[in-house]
Structure 1
C-alpha cells in the first residue's frame, strides 16, 4: 500500500539548503588539489605529506559513510545532518588556521567525519519532502549540484589562491555551511527508521584502522622501501584488520557492510569498474596540479581553468551516456569508455616537459569522455543488478568502494610518481640536506634551485616529474585496458531492467519505499 505524502510547502527552499551543502562537499573534493603546490611551498610539505593532506579526508569519509547513514536512520536524519555540517564547519575553520602540515591533515580528517554524515543523509531526507512525482527531479538537482562541484573546485580554489592565502580554500566553506545549517534547522522535517541495523562500532573501527594502515604503507613505501619493517607491519596490520572486518560482517545477522552483494555478478563487475575509474580520477587530480603549476608555470587560477577540459569531457559524457546505453547496451558502452580512457592515458604518457598545454588539453578532454562513458552506466548497472530489498545497502557499499578506490588511487599513484621522480632527479653537487629537500617534491626542488642557484636543478626536476607522470599514466592505461577486458567478458550484453521506482531506496530508509 503506497504511503501518501503531503507535500511540504517549504520543500524547494529546503532543497536549496541541501544543494548548498552538497555543492560544498562536491568542490571540496577537488579544491584542495589546486592548493597543494602552494601549500607544499609555504608549509614545506613533501609528496608523502601532500598525499596525506588529500587522503585524510577520503579515508575517514569512506570508513564512516555506512555507519553515518545508520546513525541518521536510528537517531534522526536531520539531527545527524546538522551534526555533520557542524563538524565539517569546525574542520574547515581548523584547516584555515592550521600552522603546519600535521594540523592540516587533522583538519581534513575532521572534515571527513562531517562529510560522511552529510553526503548520505542529505539524500536520505528527500523522500520525506517530495512525493514520487517530484522525487526524481529533486534527486537530479542534488546529483547535478554534486557533479557541478567537481569542475568548480579547481577554478574557485585557483581564484582564492590568487587573491588570498592558502587557508582561504578551507574558509570558503564557512558561509556556505552556515547557510546550510540554518536552513536545515528551520526547514527540514525530522525522519528516522528505528528498525534499521545498529551501528557496529567494532566493524567501523576495523574499517578505519585497516584502510588507514594500508594507505600508510603505500605512502611510506617509496622512501622506506617495501621491505622496511614499518611498511611490512602496516601491510600485515591492514590485511589482518580488513580480513577481520570481512569475517565479522559475513557472520552478522544484519551486517553494516553487506558483503553478500558482491555475489551478484552484475553488481560486482560494475562496482569494480566504477571503483577503478574513481581510482584513476583521484590519482590524476593529485598529480596534475603540480605539473600545470610548477612545471608549466601557470598560476593557481590558470591551473584550475586548465583542468576544465577533463571535467568538461566528463560532464558531456555523463549527460550523453544514457541514450547511448539505451541504443547499444551497457556492456558495449562501458567497455568502449574504458578503452577510450586507456587510449587517453597512453596518449598522456607521451607528454614531455616541452609538450605545452595544447597536447595536455587534448588528452585531458579524451580522458574525461572515457571517464563519463565508463562510470555512469557502471554505477547505474550496479544498482540495477540488485534485488529491490537490497538497493539501500548496495548503494552504500558502492559509495564506500568508490571512496576506497579514490583513497588508494591517491596513495598508490602518488607513491609511484614520488619514487620515479626521486630516482630520475639529478642532485649532483648539492649538499646532502638540499638534495634531500629537492627529492621531496618538484615544488621543493624549484625552491632549492631558487635559493642555491643550482644550475639545471629546476630543469631536472621538471623532466623527472613529467617522466614520473608518464609512468603513472602508462599504469593507468594498462589498468583501464584490463578493466575493459573484464567488463567485455563478464557484463551482460543487455540492460538489466530495474524495479519500478529504482533509485529511490538507495537514498532513503524503508519508510519511504512506497512500492511495497
Structure 2
C-alpha cells in the first residue's frame, strides 16, 4: 500500500504536535524546580508552600494519567489531547500573573491535570496514526523528546530567568502549547476504542485517591513524623485504596487496568524501566540544581550550564540504544545502561564541594547510562498490548513514569533530609528542636534559610555535602539492583522489533 504525500505530511504534523507536548510537560517539572528558590525570595512563603510548586504538579499529573488514558479510549483521543493541552496552556498563562505562592501551587495542580490529558491522549492518538516499524520510530522519538524536555528544563529555565525573570519559565511553555494545539487540530484524527464499554469511574477515583495518599504520606512524612497519626493514616488509606481498586477491577466489565497483564514478567519489566531511571536520573534534575544554586551559590545560568553534563547525553543515548537493539535484547541494552548510571552515581558521590574532582564527567556517564533504557521504553510500552488498548497501555506506562517521578522525588528528598539530620546530630549543630527544621531547609537547597537559624554556614554546608554523598551511594545501589531485575524480565524481548529504525 502506497502512502500519499498528503497522508505522510499529516502524520508528520501529528507526530510534531504530540512531541511538542512531550517536550514542555517534563520541562515544566524540572524548570519549576529551578524557579522555586527565586519564587521564594520574591513572593515569600514557608517550606511546605515552596515544595508544593513541584509536588502539586507531580501529584495531579501522575495521579490522573491512567484515568486520562481510559477517557481517551472512550471519549476520543484527539479530544482528550486537545483539552489537556488547552488547559495546560491556560494554567501556564495564569501562572505568569500569580501574585501569591498559594495561587502558584493551585495553578501548578491545574497544570498537572492538563498535562495528564495531553500526554495520555496524545500518545494514544499517535499509536493509531502509525503502525509497524513507523510506530517504533515514532515512539522512540517521542521518548527522546520527553527526555530532552526533562533534561534541558533546568538550562532553559536558567536562561529564561536570567533574561526575563521567573514568570517567563511559565510563559514559554504556554507558547509551545499553542503550537501543539494548532498542529493537533489540523493533523490528528479522532479515534476511539471499539467496544470499550462504560467508563470505570469507581476504579479511576479509587486509584487516584490511593496514589494521592501514598504520595502525600511520603511527601509529608518527614515533617509530620513517620510514626505520627496523619502519616500512618495516609499509609493505611493508600494500602486500603489499592486493595479496593484491585477488587473493583476484577469485577469490572470495562476495567481501567487489565490486572491479567500483571501476570507477565515482560509487562512488569517495562514498567520497571521508568522507575529505575527516576532514581538514577530524574531526581538529580531537581536535586542538583537546588544544590548548585542554593548550597554552592551558583547563579541560575551557571547551574543550568553545569546541568548540561547530565542533560546532553539524552540527545545521543536513545539513538545509540536503537542501534544496539539490532544486536542485543531490550534487557541487555537497558541493564547495561543502568549499570553505567550506577557507576556514575558512585563517581559523583566523590565530587563534593570540597573535592578537586569536577562532577561533569560523572554526570555525563549517568546521563548516557540512563538514556539507553529511555530510548527503548516508550516503544516497549505499546508493543506489549494490542493497538486497540493503546489508551490503557499509555495510561499505565505514563502513570508509572510520572507517579514514579513524584514518589521518587518525595522519597529521595525525605531520605536526604534524614541523612542531613543524622549528620547534624552527629556534629551537634543546633539544638534538638532546631535540627529537623535545619534538615528540611537544607534538603531543598535553602542554605540561606538554614543559616538564619544557625549562623554556621560552613558546618551546614559540610553536613549537607556528606549527606548528599551517602544518598548518591544509596541511589547507585538501587540502580544496580534495578539493572539485574530489568535484565531478568526483558532478556528475551527482541528490542530490534520494538525500536527498529
| TM-score after normalising by structure 1 | 0.84
In 1: Cα distance, 2:485 partner to 2:431 partner = 50
Structure 2 match to 1:340: 340
Does residue 208 of structure 1 match 2:208? Answer: yes
SS at match of 2:277: helix
Structure 2 match to 1:445: 447
Q: Deviations over 1:14-45 (max 9, x none)?
A: 55444433322242232112222323443445
Q: Identify the range of structure 1 (359-368 vs 420-429) with the bigger mean alpha-carbon deviation.
A: 420-429
SS at match of 1:333: helix
Does residue 370 of structure 1 match 2:369? Answer: yes
Structure 2 match to 1:277: 277
Deviation at 1:365, TM superposition (A): 1.1
Deviation at 1:224, TM superposition (A): 2.6
Contact 1:314 1:370 in 2 (8 A): no
Deviation at 1:109, TM superposition (A): 1.1
Q: Deviations over 1:413-462 (max 9, x none)?
A: 0111122224434898979999886554135432464x68x65x222232
**Within-5 A mapping of 1:318-397:** 318-355=318-355, 359-377=358-376, 380-381=379-380, 383-386=382-385, 393-397=392-396
Structure 2 match to 1:294: 294
Structure 1 match to 2:264: 264
Q: Deviations over 1:212-270 (max 9, x none)?
A: 21122112222232111111111111111121112211222221112221111122123
In 1: Cα distance, 2:74 partner to 2:380 partner = 29
Contact 1:7 1:129 in 2 (8 A): no
Structure 2 match to 1:151: 151
Q: Which runs of 5+ in 1 are unaligned?
A: 505-516
Deviation at 1:199, TM superposition (A): 2.5
Q: Which runs of 5+ in 2 are unaligned?
A: none
In 1: Cα distance, 2:463 partner to 2:429 partner = 17
What is the count of residue pairs matched by the alignment?
497
Deviation at 1:477, TM superposition (A): 1.2
Structure 2 match to 1:240: 240
SS at match of 1:7: helix
Structure 1 match to 2:493: 495
In 2: Cα distance, 1:57 partner to 1:47 partner = 16
SS at match of 2:72: helix
In 2: Cα distance, 1:96 partner to 1:79 partner = 26
Structure 2 match to 1:476: 475
In 1: Cα distance, 2:295 partner to 2:4 partner = 59
Structure 2 match to 1:252: 252
Structure 2 match to 1:508: none
SS at match of 1:482: helix
Deviation at 1:113, TM superposition (A): 0.8
Q: Identify the range of structure 1 (373-382 vs 257-266) with the bigger mean alpha-carbon deviation.
A: 373-382
SS at match of 2:195: coil
In 2: Cα distance, 1:111 partner to 1:156 partner = 19
In 1: Cα distance, 2:11 partner to 2:265 partner = 39
Contact 1:318 1:376 in 2 (8 A): yes
Contact 1:446 1:461 in 2 (8 A): no
Deviation at 1:497, TM superposition (A): 7.5
Structure 1 match to 2:308: 308
Structure 2 match to 1:507: none
In 1: Cα distance, 2:329 partner to 2:339 partner = 16
**Within-5 A mapping of 1:135-146:** 139=139, 142-146=142-146
Deviation at 1:46, TM superposition (A): 5.4
Rate the CA distance shift 1:101–1:2 in 2: closer, same or farther, 3 A: same
Structure 2 match to 1:424: 423
Contact 2:197 2:253 in 1 (8 A): no
Rate the CA distance shift 1:444–1:433 in 2: closer, same or farther, 3 A: farther
In 2: Cα distance, 1:70 partner to 1:23 partner = 23
Structure 1 match to 2:35: 35
Rate the CA distance shift 1:4–1:440 in 2: closer, same or farther, 3 A: same
Does residue 460 of structure 1 match 2:445? Answer: no
Rate the CA distance shift 1:492–1:16 in 2: closer, same or farther, 3 A: closer
Deviation at 1:115, TM superposition (A): 0.7
Contact 2:77 2:121 in 1 (8 A): yes
Contact 1:381 1:495 in 2 (8 A): no
Rate the CA distance shift 1:274–1:99 in 2: closer, same or farther, 3 A: same
Rate the CA distance shift 1:342–1:433 in 2: closer, same or farther, 3 A: closer
Contact 2:61 2:113 in 1 (8 A): yes
**Within-5 A mapping of 1:165-180:** 165-180=165-180
Structure 2 match to 1:124: 124
Structure 1 match to 2:73: 73
Rate the CA distance shift 1:423–1:491 in 2: closer, same or farther, 3 A: closer
Rate the CA distance shift 1:186–1:397 in 2: closer, same or farther, 3 A: closer
Contact 1:347 1:363 in 2 (8 A): yes
Contact 2:96 2:171 in 1 (8 A): yes
Rate the CA distance shift 1:322–1:406 in 2: closer, same or farther, 3 A: same
Structure 1 match to 2:407: 408
In 1: Cα distance, 2:61 partner to 2:489 partner = 29
Q: Deviations over 1:43-78 (max 9, x none)?
A: 445555444322222221222222223323333333
Deviation at 1:83, TM superposition (A): 1.6
